Chains A and B, each alone.
Chain A
Amino acid sequence: MAVRTAPGLRDVSGPSRPQLVPSSVMAMLIFVSTEVMLFAGFISAFSIMRSTSLVWPPPNQPRLPVAETAFNTAVLLASGVALALAHQRHRRSPRRARLPLLAALLLGAFFVSFQGREWLRLIAQGLTLTSSALGSFFYLIVGLHALHAVVALGVLFYAWRRLERGWLPPSVLGAAEVFWYFVVGIWPLIYWRVYL
Protein backbone atom coordinates (compact mmCIF):
# COMPACT_ATOMS: atom_id res chain seq x y z
CA MET A 1 0.00 0.00 0.00
CA ALA A 2 1.40 3.35 -1.03
CA VAL A 3 1.84 5.82 1.78
CA ARG A 4 0.81 9.35 0.90
CA THR A 5 0.65 12.60 2.80
CA ALA A 6 -2.70 13.44 4.33
CA PRO A 7 -4.69 15.70 1.96
CA GLY A 8 -4.80 19.31 2.99
CA LEU A 9 -1.94 19.01 5.40
CA ARG A 10 1.44 20.62 4.96
CA ASP A 11 4.22 18.25 4.08
CA VAL A 12 7.24 19.90 5.58
CA SER A 13 10.44 18.55 6.86
CA GLY A 14 11.73 19.41 10.25
CA PRO A 15 9.88 19.70 13.50
CA SER A 16 6.36 21.06 13.08
CA ARG A 17 2.98 20.33 14.51
CA PRO A 18 0.50 18.52 12.28
CA GLN A 19 -2.13 20.92 10.93
CA LEU A 20 -5.48 19.35 11.68
CA VAL A 21 -7.57 21.87 9.75
CA PRO A 22 -6.06 24.14 7.08
CA SER A 23 -5.93 27.75 8.24
CA SER A 24 -7.92 28.99 5.25
CA VAL A 25 -10.73 26.54 5.99
CA MET A 26 -10.82 27.48 9.67
CA ALA A 27 -10.84 31.19 8.82
CA MET A 28 -13.71 30.65 6.41
CA LEU A 29 -15.61 28.65 9.03
CA ILE A 30 -15.29 31.51 11.52
CA PHE A 31 -16.37 34.04 8.89
CA VAL A 32 -19.34 31.89 7.86
CA SER A 33 -20.37 31.51 11.51
CA THR A 34 -20.64 35.28 11.88
CA GLU A 35 -22.62 35.48 8.65
CA VAL A 36 -25.00 32.77 9.84
CA MET A 37 -25.72 34.86 12.93
CA LEU A 38 -26.31 37.91 10.74
CA PHE A 39 -28.89 36.01 8.68
CA ALA A 40 -30.40 34.51 11.84
CA GLY A 41 -30.94 38.02 13.19
CA PHE A 42 -32.60 39.25 10.00
CA ILE A 43 -34.80 36.18 9.65
CA SER A 44 -35.86 36.44 13.30
CA ALA A 45 -36.74 40.11 12.85
CA PHE A 46 -38.71 39.25 9.71
CA SER A 47 -40.61 36.49 11.55
CA ILE A 48 -41.53 38.82 14.41
CA MET A 49 -42.62 41.54 12.02
CA ARG A 50 -44.71 39.04 10.07
CA SER A 51 -46.36 37.73 13.24
CA THR A 52 -47.24 41.19 14.49
CA SER A 53 -48.82 42.26 11.20
CA LEU A 54 -52.61 42.13 11.12
CA VAL A 55 -52.74 41.34 7.40
CA TRP A 56 -50.05 39.32 5.70
CA PRO A 57 -48.90 39.67 2.98
CA PRO A 58 -49.57 43.43 2.88
CA PRO A 59 -52.44 44.47 0.61
CA ASN A 60 -51.75 45.98 -2.81
CA GLN A 61 -48.40 44.23 -2.99
CA PRO A 62 -47.44 41.55 -5.51
CA ARG A 63 -47.12 37.95 -4.38
CA LEU A 64 -43.67 36.44 -4.29
CA PRO A 65 -42.89 33.89 -7.05
CA VAL A 66 -43.03 30.71 -4.96
CA ALA A 67 -43.01 28.09 -7.75
CA GLU A 68 -40.28 29.74 -9.82
CA THR A 69 -38.09 30.18 -6.76
CA ALA A 70 -38.65 26.54 -5.82
CA PHE A 71 -37.16 25.60 -9.19
CA ASN A 72 -34.28 28.00 -8.58
CA THR A 73 -33.74 26.45 -5.14
CA ALA A 74 -33.39 23.06 -6.81
CA VAL A 75 -30.78 24.54 -9.15
CA LEU A 76 -28.81 25.92 -6.21
CA LEU A 77 -28.97 22.58 -4.38
CA ALA A 78 -27.75 20.86 -7.56
CA SER A 79 -24.84 23.28 -7.57
CA GLY A 80 -23.95 22.14 -4.05
CA VAL A 81 -24.10 18.50 -5.14
CA ALA A 82 -21.80 19.28 -8.08
CA LEU A 83 -19.31 20.89 -5.73
CA ALA A 84 -19.40 17.85 -3.44
CA LEU A 85 -18.65 15.72 -6.48
CA ALA A 86 -15.77 18.02 -7.38
CA HIS A 87 -14.40 17.58 -3.85
CA GLN A 88 -14.51 13.79 -4.14
CA ARG A 89 -12.82 13.81 -7.54
CA HIS A 90 -10.20 16.30 -6.41
CA ARG A 91 -9.09 13.92 -3.68
CA ARG A 92 -8.42 11.19 -6.23
CA SER A 93 -7.22 13.22 -9.19
CA PRO A 94 -7.34 17.04 -9.21
CA ARG A 95 -7.69 17.22 -12.98
CA ARG A 96 -10.94 15.26 -12.86
CA ALA A 97 -12.53 17.89 -10.62
CA ARG A 98 -12.58 20.51 -13.37
CA LEU A 99 -15.93 19.54 -14.90
CA PRO A 100 -18.02 19.30 -11.69
CA LEU A 101 -16.42 22.50 -10.39
CA LEU A 102 -17.36 24.28 -13.60
CA ALA A 103 -20.88 22.82 -13.34
CA ALA A 104 -21.21 24.15 -9.78
CA LEU A 105 -20.03 27.54 -10.97
CA LEU A 106 -22.48 27.68 -13.88
CA LEU A 107 -25.43 26.47 -11.80
CA GLY A 108 -24.64 29.10 -9.18
CA ALA A 109 -24.41 31.80 -11.86
CA PHE A 110 -27.78 30.63 -13.21
CA PHE A 111 -29.28 30.95 -9.72
CA VAL A 112 -28.07 34.53 -9.33
CA SER A 113 -29.22 35.48 -12.83
CA PHE A 114 -32.65 33.93 -12.25
CA GLN A 115 -33.00 35.80 -8.97
CA GLY A 116 -32.08 39.04 -10.73
CA ARG A 117 -34.76 38.40 -13.33
CA GLU A 118 -37.35 37.77 -10.61
CA TRP A 119 -36.31 40.97 -8.87
CA LEU A 120 -36.83 42.99 -12.03
CA ARG A 121 -40.32 41.51 -12.39
CA LEU A 122 -41.20 42.27 -8.76
CA ILE A 123 -39.93 45.84 -9.03
CA ALA A 124 -42.00 46.30 -12.18
CA GLN A 125 -45.06 45.03 -10.27
CA GLY A 126 -44.53 47.56 -7.50
CA LEU A 127 -42.60 45.69 -4.79
CA THR A 128 -39.75 48.00 -3.89
CA LEU A 129 -37.55 48.60 -0.89
CA THR A 130 -39.86 51.40 0.31
CA SER A 131 -43.25 50.09 -0.79
CA SER A 132 -43.93 47.98 2.33
CA ALA A 133 -42.37 46.08 5.20
CA LEU A 134 -42.44 42.97 2.99
CA GLY A 135 -40.47 44.77 0.29
CA SER A 136 -37.86 46.16 2.65
CA PHE A 137 -37.25 42.83 4.39
CA PHE A 138 -37.42 40.87 1.13
CA TYR A 139 -34.75 42.94 -0.58
CA LEU A 140 -32.65 43.12 2.56
CA ILE A 141 -32.54 39.37 3.25
CA VAL A 142 -32.61 38.07 -0.32
CA GLY A 143 -30.28 40.84 -1.49
CA LEU A 144 -27.79 40.01 1.25
CA HIS A 145 -27.91 36.39 0.19
CA ALA A 146 -27.41 37.39 -3.45
CA LEU A 147 -24.39 39.46 -2.43
CA HIS A 148 -22.90 36.46 -0.65
CA ALA A 149 -23.68 34.27 -3.65
CA VAL A 150 -21.86 36.66 -6.01
CA VAL A 151 -18.78 36.79 -3.77
CA ALA A 152 -18.82 33.01 -3.34
CA LEU A 153 -19.06 32.63 -7.11
CA GLY A 154 -15.94 34.77 -7.37
CA VAL A 155 -14.16 32.46 -4.94
CA LEU A 156 -15.31 29.41 -6.90
CA PHE A 157 -14.12 31.02 -10.13
CA TYR A 158 -10.72 31.68 -8.55
CA ALA A 159 -10.52 28.03 -7.51
CA TRP A 160 -11.50 26.87 -10.97
CA ARG A 161 -8.88 29.14 -12.61
CA ARG A 162 -6.17 27.73 -10.36
CA LEU A 163 -7.27 24.22 -11.25
CA GLU A 164 -7.15 25.12 -14.95
CA ARG A 165 -3.64 26.44 -14.52
CA GLY A 166 -2.54 23.15 -13.09
CA TRP A 167 -2.67 23.09 -9.31
CA LEU A 168 -5.39 23.79 -6.78
CA PRO A 169 -4.38 23.14 -3.16
CA PRO A 170 -6.99 21.23 -1.16
CA SER A 171 -7.01 24.03 1.42
CA VAL A 172 -8.15 26.60 -1.18
CA LEU A 173 -10.83 24.26 -2.50
CA GLY A 174 -11.92 23.56 1.09
CA ALA A 175 -12.32 27.26 1.88
CA ALA A 176 -14.30 27.82 -1.32
CA GLU A 177 -16.48 24.84 -0.47
CA VAL A 178 -17.27 26.13 3.02
CA PHE A 179 -18.38 29.45 1.57
CA TRP A 180 -20.50 27.93 -1.18
CA TYR A 181 -22.10 25.36 1.12
CA PHE A 182 -23.08 28.24 3.38
CA VAL A 183 -24.75 30.02 0.45
CA VAL A 184 -26.50 26.79 -0.58
CA GLY A 185 -27.42 25.72 2.95
CA ILE A 186 -28.94 28.98 4.15
CA TRP A 187 -31.12 29.47 1.09
CA PRO A 188 -33.80 26.81 1.90
CA LEU A 189 -34.26 28.48 5.30
CA ILE A 190 -34.69 31.87 3.62
CA TYR A 191 -37.10 30.37 1.09
CA TRP A 192 -39.15 28.76 3.86
CA ARG A 193 -39.37 31.85 6.04
CA VAL A 194 -39.66 34.58 3.38
CA TYR A 195 -41.42 33.01 0.42
CA LEU A 196 -43.79 30.46 2.03
Chain B
Amino acid sequence: MRSMPPVHRIRAAAAALLGTWIVAAPRLAEACAVCSPNDGDPAQYAFARASIFLSVMPLLLLGGIGWWVWRRARKLAADEAAGVIRLPGRYERPPVPPAEVPSPPVGRGHAIVFRPRQRARG
Protein backbone atom coordinates (compact mmCIF):
# COMPACT_ATOMS: atom_id res chain seq x y z
CA MET B 1 0.00 0.00 0.00
CA ARG B 2 2.90 2.31 0.72
CA SER B 3 4.26 1.94 -2.79
CA MET B 4 0.95 3.07 -4.35
CA PRO B 5 0.70 6.61 -5.65
CA PRO B 6 -1.71 8.85 -3.68
CA VAL B 7 -4.29 8.93 -6.51
CA HIS B 8 -4.42 5.13 -6.65
CA ARG B 9 -4.73 4.96 -2.88
CA ILE B 10 -7.75 7.28 -2.98
CA ARG B 11 -9.32 5.22 -5.75
CA ALA B 12 -8.79 1.97 -3.88
CA ALA B 13 -10.26 3.44 -0.73
CA ALA B 14 -13.28 4.77 -2.64
CA ALA B 15 -13.86 1.37 -4.30
CA ALA B 16 -13.64 -0.42 -0.95
CA LEU B 17 -16.05 2.05 0.61
CA LEU B 18 -18.52 1.67 -2.26
CA GLY B 19 -18.31 -2.14 -2.09
CA THR B 20 -18.91 -2.14 1.65
CA TRP B 21 -21.84 0.22 1.26
CA ILE B 22 -23.47 -1.96 -1.43
CA VAL B 23 -23.01 -5.17 0.56
CA ALA B 24 -24.08 -3.64 3.85
CA ALA B 25 -27.16 -1.87 2.54
CA PRO B 26 -29.21 -4.29 0.40
CA ARG B 27 -32.39 -2.56 1.52
CA LEU B 28 -31.44 0.44 -0.60
CA ALA B 29 -31.32 -1.77 -3.67
CA GLU B 30 -34.62 -3.39 -2.73
CA ALA B 31 -36.19 0.03 -2.34
CA CYS B 32 -35.87 0.54 -6.09
CA ALA B 33 -39.38 0.31 -7.51
CA VAL B 34 -38.40 -1.88 -10.46
CA CYS B 35 -35.45 -3.87 -9.06
CA SER B 36 -37.28 -6.36 -6.86
CA PRO B 37 -40.41 -7.88 -8.35
CA ASN B 38 -42.23 -9.18 -5.30
CA ASP B 39 -44.42 -12.24 -5.11
CA GLY B 40 -44.99 -12.61 -8.82
CA ASP B 41 -46.80 -9.33 -9.28
CA PRO B 42 -47.19 -8.98 -13.07
CA ALA B 43 -47.12 -5.19 -12.89
CA GLN B 44 -43.76 -5.23 -11.11
CA TYR B 45 -42.39 -7.66 -13.67
CA ALA B 46 -43.69 -5.45 -16.47
CA PHE B 47 -41.98 -2.41 -14.93
CA ALA B 48 -38.73 -4.35 -14.57
CA ARG B 49 -38.88 -5.63 -18.16
CA ALA B 50 -39.66 -2.14 -19.49
CA SER B 51 -36.81 -0.64 -17.47
CA ILE B 52 -34.32 -3.18 -18.78
CA PHE B 53 -35.64 -2.81 -22.33
CA LEU B 54 -35.42 0.98 -22.30
CA SER B 55 -31.99 0.93 -20.65
CA VAL B 56 -30.45 -1.56 -23.04
CA MET B 57 -31.99 -0.19 -26.26
CA PRO B 58 -29.86 3.00 -26.58
CA LEU B 59 -26.72 1.01 -25.88
CA LEU B 60 -27.68 -1.53 -28.52
CA LEU B 61 -28.41 1.23 -31.02
CA LEU B 62 -25.16 3.09 -30.46
CA GLY B 63 -23.20 -0.15 -30.33
CA GLY B 64 -24.85 -1.35 -33.54
CA ILE B 65 -24.04 1.87 -35.40
CA GLY B 66 -20.47 1.81 -34.09
CA TRP B 67 -20.02 -1.82 -35.07
CA TRP B 68 -21.36 -1.15 -38.57
CA VAL B 69 -19.04 1.84 -39.07
CA TRP B 70 -16.08 -0.18 -37.78
CA ARG B 71 -16.92 -3.07 -40.13
CA ARG B 72 -17.24 -0.67 -43.07
CA ALA B 73 -13.91 0.96 -42.24
CA ARG B 74 -12.23 -2.44 -42.09
CA LYS B 75 -13.77 -3.53 -45.38
CA LEU B 76 -12.77 -0.31 -47.15
CA ALA B 77 -9.23 -0.57 -45.82
CA ALA B 78 -9.01 -4.19 -46.96
CA ASP B 79 -10.40 -3.31 -50.41
CA GLU B 80 -7.94 -0.48 -50.76
CA ALA B 81 -5.05 -2.67 -49.69
CA ALA B 82 -6.12 -5.25 -52.28
CA GLY B 83 -6.28 -2.58 -54.98
CA VAL B 84 -10.00 -3.07 -55.60
CA ILE B 85 -10.94 0.49 -54.69
CA ARG B 86 -9.16 3.72 -54.01
CA LEU B 87 -10.25 6.01 -51.24
CA PRO B 88 -10.79 9.62 -52.27
CA GLY B 89 -8.42 12.20 -51.00
CA ARG B 90 -5.50 9.83 -50.88
CA TYR B 91 -4.31 9.57 -54.47
CA GLU B 92 -5.78 12.76 -55.89
CA ARG B 93 -3.76 15.06 -53.67
CA PRO B 94 -1.68 17.47 -55.71
CA PRO B 95 2.06 17.07 -55.25
CA VAL B 96 3.51 19.34 -52.62
CA PRO B 97 5.94 21.84 -54.25
CA PRO B 98 9.47 21.77 -52.86
CA ALA B 99 10.17 24.34 -50.23
CA GLU B 100 12.00 27.37 -51.54
CA VAL B 101 15.43 27.92 -50.06
CA PRO B 102 16.00 31.67 -49.46
CA SER B 103 18.94 32.86 -51.43
CA PRO B 104 21.55 34.92 -49.58
CA PRO B 105 21.55 38.65 -50.34
CA VAL B 106 23.84 39.59 -53.13
CA GLY B 107 25.60 42.97 -53.21
CA ARG B 108 25.16 46.03 -51.05
CA GLY B 109 21.79 47.10 -52.38
CA HIS B 110 19.97 44.05 -50.94
CA ALA B 111 21.27 44.33 -47.45
CA ILE B 112 18.94 46.00 -44.96
CA VAL B 113 20.68 47.21 -41.90
CA PHE B 114 18.60 48.01 -38.86
CA ARG B 115 20.06 50.66 -36.66
CA PRO B 116 18.37 51.45 -33.37
CA ARG B 117 17.55 55.08 -32.92
CA GLN B 118 19.76 56.73 -30.41
CA ARG B 119 18.10 58.56 -27.59
CA ALA B 120 18.62 62.26 -27.58
CA ARG B 121 20.19 63.39 -24.42
CA GLY B 122 18.76 66.60 -23.06
List residues of chain A with CB under 8 Å of any chain B CB.
Answer: 1, 3-6, 9-21, 29, 33, 36-37, 40-41, 43-45, 47-48, 50-52
9-residue interface stretch from B19-27, B84-92, B98-106, B107-115: B84-92
Q: How far is the CA of A18 from the CA of B90 in the complex (A)?
A: 8
For A3, the chain B residues whose CB sits under 8 A away are: 83-86
- Given A10-B88, A17-B89, A18-B88, verify A40-B54 contact (CB < 8 Å): yes
Q: How far is the CA of A7 from the CA of B115 in the complex (A)?
A: 64
For A4, the chain B residues whose CB sits under 8 A away are: 84-86
Check B61 against A9 for contact (C-beta < 8 Å): no
Check B87 against A18 for contact (C-beta < 8 Å): yes
Name which residue of chain B comes closest to A2, CB basis: B84
Q: How far is the CA of A170 from the CA of B76 in the complex (A)?
A: 15
Contact of A37 among B42, B50, B57, B88 (CB under 8 A): B57
Nearest chain A CB to B23 CB, angstrom units: 31
Check B84 against A51 for contact (C-beta < 8 Å): no
The 8 closest A-B pairs by CB, nearest first: A51-B46, A44-B50, A16-B89, A6-B85, A13-B92, A18-B87, A51-B42, A48-B46
Q: How far is the CA of A4 from the CA of B85 in the complex (A)?
A: 5
Check B76 against A48 for contact (C-beta < 8 Å): no
Q: How far is the CA of A21 from the CA of B84 in the complex (A)?
A: 18
- Given A21-B72, A36-B61, A48-B50, verify A12-B89 contact (CB < 8 Å): yes
Binary contact readout B42-58 vs A (1 if CB under 8 angstroms, 0 otherwise) = 11011101100110011
Q: Is B10 in contact with chain A by the CB < 8 A criterion? A: no
Check B72 against A14 for contact (C-beta < 8 Å): no
Contact of A11 among B76, B79, B88 (CB under 8 A): B88
Check A29 against B54 for contact (C-beta < 8 Å): no
Name which residue of chain A comes closest to B75, CB basis: A6
Check B61 against A14 for contact (C-beta < 8 Å): no
Q: How far is the CA of A51 from the CA of B46 in the complex (A)?
A: 6
For B89, the chain A residues whose CB sits under 8 A away are: 12, 14-18
For B6, the chain A residues whose CB sits under 8 A away are: none
Nearest chain B CB to A48 CB, angstrom units: 4
Q: How far is the CA of A189 from the CA of B114 in the complex (A)?
A: 82
Nearest chain A CB to B112 CB, angstrom units: 36
Check B87 against A9 for contact (C-beta < 8 Å): yes
- Given A6-B87, A14-B94, A20-B73, verify A47-B57 contact (CB < 8 Å): no
A sample of 7 inter-chain contacts (CB < 8 A) reads A6-B87, A21-B72, A33-B62, A37-B54, A37-B57, A44-B49, A51-B42
Q: How far is the CA of A149 from the CA of B89 in the complex (A)?
A: 38
For B79, the chain A residues whose CB sits under 8 A away are: 6
